[in-house]
Amino acid sequence: MGSATSELPSHRTPLNDTAETGLKIVVVGGFGVGKTTLVRSVSEIRPLNTEEVMTQAGVGVDETGAVTSKTTTTVAFDFGRISLNDRMVLYLFGAPGQERFWFLWDRLFSGTLGAVVLVDTRRMDDSWYAIDRLEHHRTPFVVAVNRFDDDTDRYSLDEIRQALALPAHVPMVDCDARVRHSGKDVLITLVNHLHALAIAEEATP
């Protein structure tokens, strides 16, 4: 999978006056799985990112695995914004993937209503920590499988669900983090999931 994304907005899109609901959403997953790319591709404002060039000091500390061509890493978080409709806006926070920055995750989860777990099927083990932390915080999430061009093993969503031991109620979708409409579909899936959970909770005696 290449790194090119949908074109970045050339100017800041003002927040719609009719916006009534703002949701904080975090995007988590392993290193190099596409979190920064997803936030960049869907954001209607020029996203804030804290990517730094990887240096020799990170050798032996940062696990690059199947993404040896990656030269930068997020050291704090990415931030973007997308309006799903006239009344609902999502504030997106992309969490850093390197293990040495995981201590920031609990802070990012504060006030979060839902999350997207991005998965690279070449490195599914990298998804465990994200799923564990979300379950610990009882944060609802969806799993988005970011399909890479050089992924020769095309595992089905059912196979991935089984490998990650995901409950049946957790939504799973395929996506291409580089493409705006694909990333937006992931976020819509998450919002629909949150809505369904809220309705179910209200119906519980």
8 Å CB contact between 109 and 132: no
% of the chain beyond a pLDDT of 90: 54
Predicted pLDDT at 52: 52
Q: What is the pLDDT of residues 134-147, one digit of tens each?
A: 999 999 999 999 99
| Dist CA 38 CA 115 (whole Å) | 13
Predicted pLDDT at 11: 52
The stretch 104-110 carries a mean pLDDT of 83
8 Å CB contact between 124 and 175: no
Given a cut of 70, whether residue 63 has pLDDT beyond it is: no
The stretch 173-188 carries a mean pLDDT of 97
8 Å CB contact between 100 and 76: no
Instruction: Give the residue extent of every domain in the chain.
Output: 21-203
| Dist CA 74 CA 85 (whole Å) | 29
Taking alpha carbons only, the member of 66, 63, 64, 76 closest to residue 146 is 66
CATH of the domain spanning 21-203: 3.40.50.300
pTM: 0.80
Given a cut of 60, whether residue 9 has pLDDT beyond it is: no
What's the mean pLDDT when you consider all of the chain? Answer: 83
The residues near 19 (Cβ < 8 Å, ≥ 6 apart) are 83, 86, 87, 88, 89
Given a cut of 80, whether residue 174 has pLDDT beyond it is: yes
Q: What is the pLDDT of residues 36-53, one digit of tens each?
A: 999 999 999 988 776 555
8 Å CB contact between 190 and 25: yes
